[in-house]
Amino acid sequence: MGTSASYGGPRGVNPLIPSWVDAPLPSEVAPSPGGAGQQAGGDDTDDGEPDRTPAPTLAPSRLTPLRSAIRTSARSGGSDGRAMRAAARHFVSKSMGGARRGARRMGVARRAGGRLVQAFSALAAGGATQLARVLRLQSLTGLSATEVWERLAEFVCSDGGSIDEAIVKAAFCQTLKQEMDDGLTDLLDANPEQLASFFEHFVGECVIERLSQDGGSLLEQNGVSAATAFAHMQTLRSLISVFVSQRLAARAGRGLPANYDSLQIDSIVAGTLRDAIAAVGEWGESK
Q: What is the pLDDT of residue 12?
A: 40
Cα-trace Rg, the chain: 18
Give mean pLDDT, residues 24-48. Answer: 37
CB 237 within 8 A of CB 74: no
Predicted TM-score (pTM) of the model is 0.80
Residue 39 confidence class, pLDDT cut points 50, 70, 90: very low
Amino acid letter at 106? Answer: M
Residue 100 confidence class, pLDDT cut points 50, 70, 90: very high
CB 231 within 8 A of CB 196: no
Helix, strand, coil percentages (3-state) for the chain, rounded to 5, are 65, 0, 35
- Count of CB atoms situated within 10 Å of the CB of 224: 18
